[in-house]
Structure 1
Amino acid sequence: MKLERLSTGAKLYLRPIGLGSGLPLAGGRARFAAVELSVRQVDVVEIVGTFAVEDAANVVARLPAVLAARFDTLWTRLTTPRAALALPTGALDLATPQVMGILNVTPDSFSDGGRHDDPAKAVAAAQAMVAAGAALVDIGGESTRPRAPHVPLDVELARVGPVLDGLQGQGMPLSIDTRQSAVMARALAAGAGLVNDVSALAHDPQTLPLVAAAGCPVVLMHAQGTPQHMQDAPQYDNCLRDVFDWLEARIDAVAAGGVARDRIIVDPGIGFGKTIAHNLELIAGIGMLHGLGCPILLGVSRKKLIGVIDGDVEAHDRLGGSLTLALAGLDQGVQLLRVHDVPATMQAVRVWQALRASGGQA
């Protein structure tokens, strides 16, 4: 690697590879034995080379000072355990993969729209998810599938309010999936402990100060465009690094707004303004996002890319593909899986953990 010749104006990236052995990745069960080093100048990405983890000190010593400082920051983030998430129901340990169950109380979500329109059914579904092992139940009253129409605030509140009321006082670990500050406030008051915003707190200007004041964890998701138009020919110069850069800038902005960095979770936004090729690139390289220093949430459950790959199968027939993609994420150290099928995913996670333990990697 010609490290000494790299331009100080380039941006440096580290992607953990050699998965399965070596150092714990972000303090979790996944491990990495090597790293791919790449740089980007303007829109040109160059894969400089790969090195074993034990050679990290030698590599950084050969870099120009500016790039060496960037290397040290990314290396620290790759190798430092993530702090547990503080929730009203207790601390959520991120050294072990956790599952977030999806509870859409909408008539038009792509997979389960209309299934939980009765609040009693929604409450029962949430209880079943927690009983099956879900660490969080993510309640949403607005579909953000491609081409989804805008949902008025009063309608969204009317959908989620009765469900929140039905679950209040049960000690349920709840999160709220919304872009609206009024919905966030309603959910937090009812006991929800985490905000999951597909707009990364950019849709409603009141969301950032609200989350900062609440002190709750928040998921910042990448999306190119709005739900109505995000699949209109999405384009990237380099999807994996474009998403990395966007999330890095958004983390800085949200932290500057008063949200502690150890309360920020990132989501690459699979299916949100991405082609099938973009989605696969992100999933295959998602380990690079550990360089952001935040826990990673992966939402691939029943997504369209599975149906396209497998001959246009319907959403309810995509469990096998959902589990395959989830396990690919676990191999790269993803801490949170957002899923429709909690029991099957929990089984897959437990088997994955047992395999790691049998190899002396627990």
Structure 2
Amino acid sequence: MGVVNVTPDSFSDGGRWDRPDAALRRGRELLAQGADLLDVGGESTRPGSERVPPAAEIDRVLPVVTELAAQGAVVSVDTVHAETAEACLRAGAVVVNDVSGGLADPDILAVTARHGAWYVLGHWRGDPATMNERAVYDRVVSEVCAELAARVEVALGAGLDPELLVLDPGLGFAKDAGHNWQLLAHLDRIQALGYPVLVGASRKRFLGTLLAGEDGNPAAPLARDAATAAVSALVAAAGAWGVRVHEVPGSRDAVRVGEALAAARGAS
């Protein structure tokens, strides 16, 4: 899943693709590099970011979604807003990637169900303004699994097709670095819920912390792509459904490595 950020304040690229023409070029580039799916978003969810009203979000993403879908791309809309999901599904998107798992706007579940679209249900405990203070767990893997399972029940109750449901453990959303590593180490526990799993580790802060220099400063987002690819290989070997990444080539190769390793394990 290649990321197309149509935002002026993205943590990962600083707004390089915040105009429709630039975002379209970026989307085509990611497809040419081997992305299977393009995730188009118009609201930054980095810690402390300000919420974007649906009307502004739609203005940002709808032209990009419409054109990419018309060109044959498989398009996901990265949104927590039912209104944005509705507009983009009408325009040709086939996936709703909701990092809030329906908590931010419960109507998004019914909208997705009505369109028969795929739904990526993310784990979170609060919006970007409050999520860091909610990163408190006794047993993070067990608690995240339980909270995801509860949201799955709500999603199914809203009419979502269980065959079109994907879970995302929400790395970095109300989680510190240790929590993220625990979830990655126990991905099988999330898969045991019975649904495909999407992993979104790309360029996130916990990788920057891991790669900190001698001065202790985290590596910059653009210096985290090799570590992102390493995570992509590991989770592909563990059977993840997909990886959401900002740079496709390295993770595309990494996924092939992970899949080859998984196949070899299965054949032994």
Quickly name the TM-score band, shorter chain normalised: over 0.9
Q: Equivalents in 2 of 1:248, 1:278: separation in Å? A: 18
Which stretch of the first structure deviates more once superposed, 349-358 or 113-122? 349-358
Select the residue among 99, 117, 120 that pairs with 1:216: 117
- Report if the CA contact (8 A) 2:237-2:261 is conserved: no
In structure 2, what is the equivalent of residue 332 of structure 1? 238
In structure 2, what is the equivalent of residue 341 of structure 1? 247
**Structure 1 residue 168 displacement after superposition:** 3.9
In structure 2, what is the equivalent of residue 292 of structure 1? 193
- Report if the CA contact (8 A) 1:101-1:339 is conserved: yes
Q: Which amino acid aligns with 1:202?
A: L
The reply to whether residue 316 of structure 1 matches residue 222 of structure 2 is yes
Select the residue among 236, 247, 259 that pairs with 1:353: 259
- Report if the CA contact (8 A) 1:179-1:204 is conserved: yes
- Report if the CA contact (8 A) 2:39-2:77 is conserved: yes
Aligned-partner SS, 1:231:
helix
Identity %: 39
Q: Equivalents in 1 of 2:144, 2:266: separation in Å? A: 34
Select the residue among 154, 161, 180 that pairs with 1:260: 161
Bigger-Rg structure (1/2): 1
- Report if the CA contact (8 A) 1:149-1:228 is conserved: yes
Q: Equivalents in 1 of 2:196, 2:259: separation in Å? A: 18
Structure 2: segments with no counterpart, 5+ residues: 213-217
Aligned-partner SS, 1:316:
helix
Which stretch of the first structure deviates more once superposed, 268-277 or 229-238? 229-238
**Structure 1 residue 139 displacement after superposition:** 0.2
Change (3 A) 1:310 1:262: same
In structure 2, what is the equivalent of residue 305 of structure 1? 206
Change (3 A) 1:193 1:314: same
Select the residue among 41, 45, 62 that pairs with 1:140: 41
- TM-score (norm: length of structure 1): 0.70
- TM-score (norm: length of structure 2): 0.93
Deviations 1:76-124 (A, max 9, x none): xxxxxxxxxxxxxxxxxxxxxxxx0011100111102311122111111
**Structure 1 residue 359 displacement after superposition:** 6.3
In structure 1, what is the equivalent of residue 145 of structure 2? 244
Q: Equivalents in 1 of 2:141, 2:70: separation in Å? A: 41
In structure 1, what is the equivalent of residue 184 of structure 2? 283
Q: Equivalents in 2 of 1:332, 1:165: separation in Å? A: 34
The reply to whether residue 124 of structure 1 matches residue 25 of structure 2 is yes
Structure 1: segments with no counterpart, 5+ residues: 1-99
Deviations 1:247-283 (A, max 9, x none): 1111111111111111110000000001111111111
**Which is helix-richer, 1 or 2?**
2
Alignment of 1:1-362 (within 5 A): 100-232=1-133, 234-311=135-212, 312-357=218-263, 361=267
Q: Equivalents in 1 of 2:258, 2:192: separation in Å? A: 24
* Aligned Cα root-mean-square deviation (Å): 1.6
**Which is strand-richer, 1 or 2?**
1
Q: Equivalents in 1 of 2:158, 2:104: separation in Å? A: 15
Runs of 4+ with >4 A deviation: 355-360
Q: Equivalents in 2 of 1:124, 1:234: separation in Å? A: 37
Q: Equivalents in 1 of 2:257, 2:182: separation in Å? A: 26
- Report if the CA contact (8 A) 2:36-2:74 is conserved: yes
In structure 2, what is the equivalent of residue 43 of structure 1? none
Flag the structure with more relative contact order, 1 or 2, with Cα contacts below 8 A and sequence separation at least 6.
1
Q: Equivalents in 1 of 2:91, 2:27: separation in Å? A: 15
Number of corresponding residues: 263
